[in-house]
């Protein structure tokens, strides 16, 4: 695969920062739910819909949004996505009904996808090949970074200023990031030959509808994108289930107030460490399969320590298990983003491949928490949670083995 002349690596960091801003938009909601429930009369069911709306968009549309981003241009897609986030969040600040918030949250979900899906391919364009694994590991941390910042800042900001100002703040941040990205990152190259054979012919216009469907067909007919996406689903479903239920678990254990928020934010932030480390390890020659096995192994062990009956009277040991689960488990997404770039069928299918990965990741996040909750309800507690998490880890490790076997067959590219 060809590699365009690299731009300043600082621009790649700007792309990561833009992803973090998009993640802030996702993470801004949980700390605002009590205020929304008090001011707008939001019910628990409506709160759940607000929380899941972004994942619903990813679960149903991510691969098509990735396809659209491939044809639109990577930088252009990110800038437009940030602008869409700014508009939706700005209008949300003036929302007076639950229906309006739900609609605008769905629009935010689309904006988030336009930002997140083309980013790995854009990073690939902006850095030298030797720096790509490290930067993709950094990119893997965008979601936990944004989520942790919102979880930490929201409980302080919202009681003082209100949820509507909180929404307006993120509208301004998104708009400012869109302007910065637009000014600093080099423009998308003009339409290039996709060099994909179609019945013996070359598809000269990769932005045409036929070229778009060709990219989608190539992506979904290749085993690499499926293996990476399914592995990501095994990771994301259990991670969201464990971290998402932490407030409920700790509240039931008597932890409340600011300490509960700090513990939950720390669990999310620990994931950043693993993401950053994955890039370093890959740069030093670690096989992706080894990093994935280590990540899934830590998640299996950490979730067992966190929920098994033998640690019931040792809350800090349980929290250490959660940190192990989230922190070393962070090796998984950082490594998978690197694999998604390497196992995409071609350069013009990278964003589409990342879209498919995002789609099955969202599916995992949609299925994982209800499955863990159903097991907990049946068991009368969280002690059987490791049955779900260890099962996901075993499946993920098997998929990682299969993906690792594909690497020698992939074209030589970073």
Confidence band of 368 (pLDDT split at 50, 70, 90): confident
Domains and CATH numbers, the chain: 9-187+206-409 (1.20.1250.20)
Q: Which of 88-92, 315-319, 341-345 shows the highest mean pLDDT?
A: 88-92
Q: Using CA atoms of 386, 321, 242, 230 in order, give the dihedral in degrees to the nearest 10.
A: -70
Where do runs of H (alpha helix) occur along 185-222? 209-221
Q: Per-residue pLDDT averaged across 15-40, rounded? A: 89
Given a cut of 60, is residue 205 above it in pLDDT?
Answer: no
Confidence band of 2 (pLDDT split at 50, 70, 90): very low
Instruction: Convert 349-367 to b/e letters by CB count within 10 Å (16 or more is b).
Output: bbbbbbbbbbbbbbbbbbb
- Least Cα distance to 414 among 336, 355, 338 occurs for 338
Contact 339, 235 (CB under 8 A): no
Q: Per-residue pLDDT averaged across 27-55, rounded? A: 79
Q: Which of 5-19, 134-148, 180-194, 219-233 shows the highest mean pLDDT?
A: 219-233
How far, in whole angstroms, is CA 385 from its chain's centroid?
A: 23
Q: What percent of the chain has pLDDT over 70?
A: 88
> What is the reported pLDDT for 194?
41
Confidence band of 256 (pLDDT split at 50, 70, 90): low
Q: Using CA atoms of 42, 48, 49, 52 in order, give the dihedral in degrees to the nearest 10.
A: 140
- Least Cα distance to 82 among 11, 174, 159 occurs for 174
The rounded mean pLDDT for the chain is: 84
- The first and second tokens of residue 332, run together, are 């998984």
> What is the reported pLDDT for 408?
64
> What is the reported pLDDT for 414?
43
> What is the reported pLDDT for 84?
97
Task: Establish how many alpha carbons lie within 13 A of residue 396's alpha carbon, considering only the half-sphere containing its beta carbon.
Answer: 36
Given a cut of 70, is residue 225 above it in pLDDT?
Answer: yes
Helix (H, G, I), strand (E, B) or coil at 317: helix
Given a cut of 80, is residue 196 above it in pLDDT?
Answer: no
Contact 229, 360 (CB under 8 A): yes
Number of Cβ within a 10 Å radius of residue 314: 12
Distances (CA, A) of 79 to 4, 57, 65, 191, 320: 21, 19, 14, 18, 39
Helix (H, G, I), strand (E, B) or coil at 201: strand
Cα–Cα dist 245/331, whole Å: 22
Considering only CA atoms, give the Rg of the chain. Answer: 21
- The first and second tokens of residue 113, run together, are 């996808």
> What is the reported pLDDT for 268?
83
| DSSP letter, residue 208 | S
Given a cut of 50, is residue 301 above it in pLDDT?
Answer: yes
Query: Which of 226-230, 270-274, 366-370 has the weakest average pLDDT?
Result: 366-370
| DSSP letter, residue 174 | H
Q: Maximum CA pair distance of the chain?
A: 68
Tell me if the pTM is above 0.85: no
- The first and second tokens of residue 258, run together, are 């600011």
Contact 46, 142 (CB under 8 A): no
Query: Which of 160-169, 177-186, 235-244 has the weakest average pLDDT?
Result: 235-244
CB burial of residue 2 (10 Å; 0-12, 13-18, 19+)? exposed
Confidence band of 7 (pLDDT split at 50, 70, 90): low
Distances (CA, A) of 308 to 237, 321, 329, 381, 402: 19, 10, 18, 10, 30
> What is the reported pLDDT for 131?
86
> What is the reported pLDDT for 197?
36
Given a cut of 70, is residue 391 above it in pLDDT?
Answer: yes
Paired residues of 201 in beta bridges: 198
Q: Using CA atoms of 162, 165, 170, 175 in order, give the dihedral in degrees to the nearest 10.
A: 180
Q: Per-residue pLDDT averaged across 300-328, rounded? A: 91
From start to end of 201-263, where are the E strands?
A: 201-202
Residue-wise pLDDT for 65-106, tens only, equals: 877 877 788 999 999 999 999 999 999 999 988 889 989 988
Segment (H or E) for 406: helix 385-406
Helix (H, G, I), strand (E, B) or coil at 197: strand
End-to-end CA gap in the chain: 9
Confidence band of 257 (pLDDT split at 50, 70, 90): low
> What is the reported pLDDT for 150?
86
Q: Per-residue pLDDT averaged across 341-355, rounded? A: 85
């Amino acid at each position: 695969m060809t590699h365009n002349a690299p731009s300043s690596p600082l621009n790649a960091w700007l792309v990561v920062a833009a992803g973090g801003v998009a993640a802030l938009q996702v993470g801004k909601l949980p700390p605002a739910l009590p205020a929304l429930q008090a001011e707008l009369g939001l019910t628990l069911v409506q709160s759940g819909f607000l929380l899941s709306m972004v994942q619903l968009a990813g679960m149903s549309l991510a691969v098509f949004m990735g396809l659209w981003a491939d044809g639109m241009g990577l930088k252009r897609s990110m800038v437009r996505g940030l602008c869409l986030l700014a508009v939706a969040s700005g209008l949300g600040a003036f929302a007076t009904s639950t229906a309006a918030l739900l609609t605008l949250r769905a629009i935010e979900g689309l904006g988030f996808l336009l930002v997140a899906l083309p980013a790995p391919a854009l990073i690939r364009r902006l850095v030298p090949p030797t720096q790509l694994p490290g930067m993709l590991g950094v990119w893997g941390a965008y979601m936990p970074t944004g989520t942790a910042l919102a979880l930490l800042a929201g409980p302080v900001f919202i009681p003082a200023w209100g949820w509507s100002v909180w929404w307006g703040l993120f509208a301004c941040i998104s708009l400012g990031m869109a302007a910065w990205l637009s000014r600093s990152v080099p423009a998308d190259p003009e339409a290039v030959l996709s060099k994909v054979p179609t019945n013996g012919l070359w598809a000269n216009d990769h932005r045409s509808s036929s070229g778009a469907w060709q990219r989608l067909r190539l992506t979904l007919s290749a085993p690499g994108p499926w293996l990476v996406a399914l592995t990501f689903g095994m990771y994301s479903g259990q991670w969201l289930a464990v971290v998402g239920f932490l407030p409920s678990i700790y509240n039931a254990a008597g932890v409340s107030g600011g300490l509960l928020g700090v513990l939950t934010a720390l669990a999310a932030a620990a994931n950043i460490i693993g993401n950053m480390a994955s890039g370093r390890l890959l740069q030093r020659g670690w096989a992706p399969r080894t990093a994935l096995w280590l990540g899934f192994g830590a998640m299996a062990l950490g979730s067992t320590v966190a929920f098994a009956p033998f640690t019931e009277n040792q809350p800090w040991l349980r929290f250490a298990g959660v940190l192990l689960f989230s922190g070393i488990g962070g090796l998984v997404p950082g490594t998978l983003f690197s694999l998604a770039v390497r196992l995409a069928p071609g350069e013009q299918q990278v964003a589409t491949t990342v879209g498919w990965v995002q789609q099955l990741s969202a599916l995992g996040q949609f299925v994982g928490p209800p499955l863990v909750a159903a097991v907990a309800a049946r068991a009368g507690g969280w002690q059987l949670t490791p049955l779900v998490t260890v099962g996901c880890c075993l499946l993920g490790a098997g998929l990682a083995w299969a993906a690792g076997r594909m690497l020698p067959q992939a074209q030589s590219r970073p």
